């Protein structure tokens, strides 16, 4: 869509307002709305001003002026405003230099794609994410000087089998019992379908939706794969739509990786493949039907996985999910079909165009632009340096001894250790100026100051069980 077509689109839909959206460093949409008539075609070149010092991880107050330049190709009708409203995603520009802003996540993703093309390795990076989330009826939490608590509730919660519901009919998915049940146990089919329909309105192709393993309303809606930048844009819409549809139904959604104790957390298994000039590059005659280039790709991903997880599993809560004993993978190895490995090669299809690998460690709490760009940069490093992915893990890990498992590298045990890994291993990310040293330092400093340190200062409720009467 061109700027001229943008205004024609607005007129044809009777839209009098335009909502401008962009993503902050941590991966949350920000927005500002304008009457359509105050924009003209020059707006798509000059942009609109805003205060960059009020956006997390961006400018200092002494350099706060920034420009948001709308990308007309992203224009759709926002499905949640009362009156027809255009929605358009912006790229961020420095008002003095007129250069793209180095901390704009969307710009970083563009640079990663450009770098891939410059190397001549591939012309397209395809991403197929599987975000999981929980649908709750209520959430309450607080932290004060003398109190700290959280409480969640769900009509589907296994803990509510004894609740007075006048009547309680007992259809509650059990702990780890929520995978693929039909109604009446699955009470959220219609809500997930409504979410899927809203996604379709903004151009997202939904492949499937279903109840997930966890009790308490865990869900998954899968999008059809697309190129990295477009899929990252889609993922921003995905979160926005899921939350707003839930709120409209009197529910609340969280993408927090581990909100429920003693049950599965929410991941975002990410399917990844490279193509060149319309041809898939990952199909071949090597292990699990992969090409040698695909194996090198996996080698790079596994080598740099601890650093990548600073973006791909970017919260303290992420490491409540990445623990041994649950379905979430902690072993940095590859495997065909084995879901306990960090990298799985799906074996559903023999078509070369379907050949890909699945990175199972990421979760949906982070910034998709940064997560998938970091994955791409690790893959490119693996191809350039011919990194061996090592032997596959094709056994059931629950049948293996501690000694046998000890030889396989593991994911970091905490966000703090993932940040340490990123600090020590980021040369692969700064190649081609894709993710700058400034962005990496800003990310690490923000996470350490605002998350790691703040959690360290606060007593945990379970500490009272452990230590109060010592």
Active-site annotation holder among 104, 233, 358, 416 = 358
DSSP bridge pairs for 336: 345
- The pair phi, psi for residue 342, each rounded to 5°, is -65, -35
Catalytic-residue membership of 344:
no
Q: Is 358 a catalytic residue?
A: yes
> Active site includes 339?
yes
Which residues contact residue 126 at a Cβ distance below 8 angstroms, ignoring those fewer than 6 apart? 225, 226, 227, 228, 271, 272, 273, 274, 275, 356
Handedness of CA 42, 43, 49, 54 (dihedral sign): negative
Given the residues 24, 78, 104, 132, select the one marked as catalytic.
Answer: 132
Q: Would you state the structure tokens that stand for residue 99, as one six-digit string?
A: 């250069």
| Annotated catalytic residue 416 | no
From the candidates 103, 106, 269, 321, give the one annotated as an active-site residue.
269
Using CA of residue 224, residue 228, residue 232, residue 237, what is the dihedral sign? negative
Report the candidate in 150, 152, 160 with the shortest Cα–Cα distance to residue 136: 152
Q: Is 360 a catalytic residue?
A: yes
Q: Choosing from 124, 156, 186, 212, which is the catalytic residue?
A: 212
Q: Of the residues 5, 40, 51, 463, which is catalytic?
A: 51
Catalytic annotation, pick one of 130, 198, 363, 381: 130
Annotated active-site residue 426? The verdict is no
Q: Are 6 and 86 in contact (CB under 8 A)?
A: yes
Active site (annotated) includes residue 51 = yes
Instruction: Say what the alpha-carbon torsion angle 394, 390, 120, 130 is, to the nearest 10 degrees.
Output: 40
Active-site hit among 78, 156, 186, 220: 220
Question: Mutual orientation of helices 437-447 and 415-424 as an angle, nearest 10°?
Answer: 160
Q: Which of 211, 356, 360, 426 is catalytic?
A: 360
CA-based nearest residue to 459, from 184, 209, 251, 148: 148
Cα 399 → chain centroid = 32
Which of 339, 349, 395, 460 is flagged as catalytic?
339
Question: Which residues have C-beta within 8 Å of that of residue 467, sequence separation ≥ 6?
Answer: none
Q: Which are the catalytic amino acids?
A: 51, 130, 132, 212, 220, 269, 339, 358, 360
């Amino acid at each position: 869509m061109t700027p001229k077509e943008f205004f024609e689109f607005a007129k044809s839909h009777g839209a009098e307002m335009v909502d401008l959206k962009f993503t902050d460093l941590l991966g949350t949409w920000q927005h500002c709305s304008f009457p359509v008539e105050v924009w003209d075609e020059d707006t798509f070149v000059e942009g609109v001003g805003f205060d960059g010092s009020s956006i997390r991880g961006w400018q200092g107050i002494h350099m706060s002026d920034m420009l948001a330049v709308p990308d007309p190709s992203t224009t759709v009708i926002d499905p949640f405003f009362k009156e027809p409203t255009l929605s358009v995603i912006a790229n961020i520009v420095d008002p003095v230099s007129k250069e793209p802003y180095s901390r704009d996540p969307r710009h970083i993703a563009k640079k990663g794609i450009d770098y891939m093309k410059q190397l001549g390795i591939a012309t397209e990076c395809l991403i197929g994410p599987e975000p999981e989330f929980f649908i709750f009826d209520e959430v309450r939490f607080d932290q004060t000087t003398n109190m700290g608590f959280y409480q969640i509730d769900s009509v589907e919660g296994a803990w509510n089998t004894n609740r007075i519901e006048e009547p309680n009919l007992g259809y509650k998915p059990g702990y780890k019992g929520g995978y693929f049940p039909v109604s009446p146990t699955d009470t959220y089919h219609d809500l997930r379908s409504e979410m899927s329909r809203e996604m379709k309105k903004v151009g997202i192709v939904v492949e499937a939706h279903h109840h997930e393993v966890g009790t308490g309303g865990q869900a998954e809606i899968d999008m059809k794969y697309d190129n990295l930048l477009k899929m990252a844009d889609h993922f921003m819409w995905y979160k926005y739509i899921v939350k707003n549809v839930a709120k409209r139904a009197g529910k609340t959604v969280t993408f927090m990786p581990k909100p429920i104790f003693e049950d599965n957390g929410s991941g975002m298994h990410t399917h990844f493949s490279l193509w060149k000039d319309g041809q898939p590059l990952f199909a071949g005659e090597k292990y699990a039907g992969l090409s040698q280039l695909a194996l090198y790709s996996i080698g790079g991903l596994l080598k740099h996985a601890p650093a990548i997880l600073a973006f791909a599993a970017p919260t303290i809560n992420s490491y409540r999910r990445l623990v041994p004993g649950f379905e979430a993978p902690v072993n940095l190895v590859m495997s065909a079909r084995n879901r306990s490995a960090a990298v799985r090669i799906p074996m559903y299809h023999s078509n070369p165009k379907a050949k890909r690998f699945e990175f199972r460690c990421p979760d949906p709490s982070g910034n998709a632009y940064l997560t998938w760009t970091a994955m791409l940069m690790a893959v490119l490093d693996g191809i350039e340096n011919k990194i061996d992915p090592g032997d596959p893990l094709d056994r059931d890990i629950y049948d293996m001894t501690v000694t046998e498992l000890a030889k396989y590298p593991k994911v970091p045990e905490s966000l703090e250790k993932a940040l340490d890994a990123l600090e020590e291993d980021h040369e692969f990310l700064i190649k081609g100026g894709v993710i700058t040293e400034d962005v990496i330092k800003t990310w690490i400093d923000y996470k350490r100051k605002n998350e790691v340190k703040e959690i360290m200062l606060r007593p945990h409720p379970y500490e009272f069980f452990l230590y109060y009467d010592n």
